[in-house]
Structure 1
Amino acid sequence: MGGENSNFILHIFDVFFNMVWQIYWPLAFGLMLSSFIRNLLPVDTVSSNLGHTNVRSLSITTMLGVVSSSCSYAAASLSHTLLIKKATIANAMAFLVSSTNLILEMFIVLVALLGWTFLWGEILGGILLIIFVAVLFSQFFPKDVEDELREKLASENAPAATHDCGMDMGDMAHHDHMHMTHDENHADCGMDMGEMHHESHQHMHHEGHDHNHAQEGTHPESSMSDCGMDMGGKDMGSMSHHDHEHMHMENSDTGSSMAKITKAASFFHMDLAMIGKEILIGVVVSSLLIAVVPLDGWRALFISSDANLPIWLHSFLDVIIGIFVAMIAYVCSVGNLLLAAALWHGGISFGGVIGFILADVLTIPMMRVYQKYYGHRPAKWMVGLLFVAILMTGLCIDVVFHALGFAVNDSSLRPLIQDGFGMNFTTIMNLIFIPLSFWFYNVGKKANAGMGMSM
């Protein structure tokens, strides 16, 4: 008896570590990519291309999703970043769907496991889901809830903006000298502003390589738009064109690249501080469910194909059950296909399988991530509209494939062989991203600690 218990515990740990090994590199890659996009991608670029929901913007977000990470948590982080950058909710949700369901690695595993018919079903299902998401979120997401979401995003992004130059400008007075205390974060701006008198205040505007020289005046405040200047003890009125060029080149050569990496790393650290617990809980719960519940147990949840029910009702119930099973049994976008194959063998409808696969954005850990990112009410509306969109997609897939007479042959189903430890693609990518992500996390942690942000 003791041997059986120890074997069972070892099996749980084996499932857990194998799961972590499978999802580590795409998760790390996606969160790091999100942090760089959040730091480097201009708000104007996103808002001009994704600030309106139309065919062009949906095509862009779909393609961005296809080439991004396959991990749902990383996709949630990236869609969160797009919303911060002023993309519409419909475009952000379309990205979330495409990033988790229209990805190359999923297609490869899907063909190997379930055959080509399921691949076409997944592609068509992903496209239909993006269309339904765009319509539902554009037409039915309440305006007051969206305002609440935008306010939360603005409030959480505000502290980062105040530290862009390492300055607190709130205490500047009309006749006071400016005394700046230096810490690690001033490396981002490289400014030494020892003593500046009111008589030498002026506006400095730098655009490209053009430099407009300010004249001495009696302005009550200074407008410092260039954070790359060393101004300790200098009389700004006597600064020459050569001084400007020298300082601009010095800043570009020595500090800009590392400053950008440090700022991106700070976002990476903040993301993990916000959703790291949800990711860990999701992996632990999924490991336990897969280890404890046999595949036959999952199959028993579905209505037998021998039941005397109308086809439309059988399909409707299968899709509903498929979505709920995905909510509690989710592992990752690719790993979930193993359970999808088991459910198909157990008699679930074709649309039910597609609905189950598409529902990887509706798992319990993902709902907690939405709540952390957007607040209670916006998260509830997101989950509700995504549920309706996935249900509609699963039903449409069943109708289309029945109407076209597509038949899925069970003989094409093959067991999925997961990449484990050994010299394979997953191992190579983990060997790269494990040390890289730890280094990146520590850089971000130090940067946030320097700004007084404890996480």
Structure 2
Amino acid sequence: MQPTILDGVLEALRIGVGFLWTAAWAIIMGLTVTSLVQVYVSKERMAKVLGDGDIAGVTKATVFGAASSGCSFGAVAIGKGLFKKGAHTVNFLAFMFASTNLIVELGLMILILLGWEFLLAELLGGLVLIAVMAVIVHLTLPENLFDEVRDTLNERDRESGVTEDPTCGMEGKQEYSLTTDGGERLQFCSEGCMETYLQETSSSGGWRDELLSWGGWYRVGNQYRKEWSMIWKDVIAGFLISGFVIVFVPQWVWNALFIQGDGLLVTAENAVMGVAIAVLSFVGSMGNVPFAVALWGGGISFAGVIAFVYADLITIPVLNVYRKYYGWQIMLYILGVFFVTMAFTGFLMELLFNALGIVPNLAGGETATDQTYFELNYTFYLNLIAFALSGFLLYVYRRGLGAPGQYRDPVCGMRTDDSGPAATHDDETYYFCSQTCEKTFEEKPGEYATGHPMEMDGHNH
């Protein structure tokens, strides 16, 4: 019987969802570790640390990036904040590389879906990437151009009254603002970041004490929720697209794009083409790992696949963000430097792995279509544990256990105190975390008014 389009779609969904099921525990565990690091590793003012483009500065930028979030857009926004505060060009680019290539959740996903050889190439290659990029930038940097753009950025933000979120470096918004005890007015990019700031100022004791209190876990829960909100679209898109690519892209397409055979020229062409496909694929950060599985299954060389995985910082949507931040010239400069760096590093990794005899054997593996994904094995039990952990963190956050502030915002459920926006309805005063929630309440007070604005359960005194 001839397979129909519907059969193909169902098979593509089976593979895409199967990949997601296989990697779910790794993503959840990785994001939990990232959230713990984000909450409990103190981030001293990075701009001071990242001022010089020397080896120490690049090393610190790499370490800070690896301990940071894994969303391409988040990395670019934080990079912009560091750049504006005076970080050397090499350092803010190194930070972006590390925070999209050397993070826990990405490493676990690569290990599960592609194997240990790719993980080794990702980690080793991530460091080589940063070194190669640093050399290229030091040789080619149009110094004045970056200084001018930095001045223009700062000037533009001053004129338009843009302030930076003190927790993440992204652009603060008027509706998420508060005044500190010292009279300073701070603006935040989101409720989550404003809450993170409130938690940091109200928390006391070391991380061990914090993790023995509800307040500490509440902070981790809030950070975990923020991490997911940044990457979930990329992750789901990457898994679903990979299923469709595996089922619907015929082998001749891969053979036409990627030269087959041996030799330096083949390796180089595959590496360049891997980066080129990444630029056009629109899938960022962790979503490009399942896509890489589809490329690997299409018979593309090791260099091509690993160069593709590196290249999430130059997809078209991310390039557009560079253009908005820095203008066309710097966008093209970053594209050029990153493209050369990523293709060259992919090329280098294949040569090195060939020399060591550890390039994985594609023919020996099962294809995505042959695999069964849903069975009672270690993946099932690890996913159960991971979903339970995820549920626990989100429960602690939603219940507001240990959150700062004795009032609960009736609109979003966040804890707040009496210093924020307030509104009265039926002789009860309600307090809000932001002007946005206050406006929403005032439009439909009957829907949100509970008559119990004060909730003390779980609050740590």
TM-score by length of 1: 0.59
Once residues 392 and 252 of structure 2 are traced to their aligned partners in structure 1, the CA distance between those partners, rounded to angstroms, is 36
1:124-163 to 2 correspondences below 5 Å: 124-158=124-158, 159-160=161-162
**Conserved in 1, the CA contact under 8 Å of 2:299 and 2:362?**
no
Q: CA deviation at 1:5?
A: 8.0
CA 1:69–1:52: 2 relative to 1, 3 Å: same
Give the drift of 1:74: 2.1
Q: Does 1:92 align with 2:44?
A: no
DSSP-derived class of the 1:372 partner: helix
Q: Once the 2 structures are TM-superposed, how far is the Cα of residue 408 of structure 1 from its aligned partner?
A: 1.9
* In structure 1, C-alpha distance between the alignment counterparts of 2:144 and 2:260, rounded to whole Å: 44
Q: Residues 142 and 280 (structure 1 numbering): CA distance in 2 closer, same or farther, change over 3 Å?
A: farther
Alignment partners' CA distance in 1, 2:30 and 2:330: 24
Secondary structure at 1:121 match in 2: helix
Structure of higher CA gyration radius? 1
Give the conservation status (yes or no) of the 8 Å contact 2:239–2:287. no
- 1:375 aligned partner: 327
Supply the distance in 2 between the matched residues of 1:126 and 1:228 (Cα, whole angstroms).
40
Map of 1:354 onto structure 2: 306
SS at match of 2:119: helix
AA of the residue aligned to 2:275: I
Residue 227 of structure 1 corresponds to 183
Other-structure match for 2:56: 56
Q: How does 1:196-345 map to 2 (within 5 A)?
A: 226-227=182-183, 257=198, 291=244, 293-294=248-249, 296=251, 299-306=254-261, 311-345=263-297
Change in CA separation of 1:140 and 1:33 when aligned onto 2, cut-off 3 Å? farther
Q: Which runs of 5+ in 2 are unaligned?
A: 167-173, 186-196, 203-222, 399-411, 415-431, 440-461
The amino acid that maps onto 1:53 is G
Find the partner of 1:425 among 377, 381, 386. Answer: 386
Distance 1:361 1:184, change over 3 A: closer
User: Could you tell me whether the CA contact under 8 Å between 1:351 and 1:398 is conserved in 2?
Assistant: yes
Secondary structure, in 3 states, of the residue corresponding to 1:227? coil
User: Shift of the alpha carbon at 1:6?
Assistant: 8.2
Q: What residue is the counterpart of 2:446 in the other structure?
A: none
Show the 5 A alignment for 1:184-195. 188-189=179-180
**Which letter does structure 2 place at the counterpart of 1:340?**
A
C-alpha deviations, 1:354-396, integer Å up to 9, x for none? 1111111111111112222322222121111111111221222
- Matching of residues 29-68 of structure 1 within 5 Å: 45-68=45-68
Distance 1:407-1:71 versus aligned 2 partners, 3 A rule? same
* d(CA) in 2 for partners of 1:405, 1:289: 28
RMSD, aligned CA: 5.2
Q: Contact 1:188–1:259 (CA<8 Å) still a contact in 2?
A: no
Instruction: Give 3-state SS (helix, strand or coil) of 1:325's partner.
Output: helix
Q: 1:448 Cα shift?
A: 13
CA-CA distance at 1:90 after TM superposition: 0.9
1:104 corresponds to: 104
Q: Distance in 2 between matches of 1:62 and 1:101?
A: 10
Judge conservation of contact 1:351–1:394 (CA < 8 Å) in 2.
yes
TM superposition shift of 1:137: 2.4
Shift of 1:102: 1.4
For residues 71 and 117 of structure 2, what CA distance do their matches in structure 1 show?
24
Quote the Cα distance in structure 2 between the aligned partners of 1:331 and 1:85: 29
The size of the alignment, in residue pairs, is 351
CA distance in 2, matches of 1:91, 1:400: 26
Identity in percent: 25
Aligned equivalents of 2:5, 2:435: Cα separation in 1: 40
What is the aligned partner in structure 1 of residue 443 from structure 2? none
**Counterparts of 1:367 and 1:327 in 2: how far apart (Å)?**
9
2: CA distance, partners of 1:185 / 1:114: 42
| Cross-structure match for 2:447 | none
**TM-score after normalising by structure 2:** 0.59
CA distance in 1, matches of 2:132, 2:49: 20
SS class of match (1:52): coil
The superposition leaves residues 169-218 of structure 1 with CA deviations (integer Å, 9 ceiling, x where unpaired) of: xxxxxxxxxxxxxx99995056xxxxxxxxxxxxxxxxxxxxxxxxxxxx
Counterparts in 2 of 1:228 and 1:121: CA distance versus 1, 3 Å: closer
**Correspondence list, 1:4-23, <5 A:** none
**Cα distance in 2 between the residues matched to 1:33 and 1:447:** 28
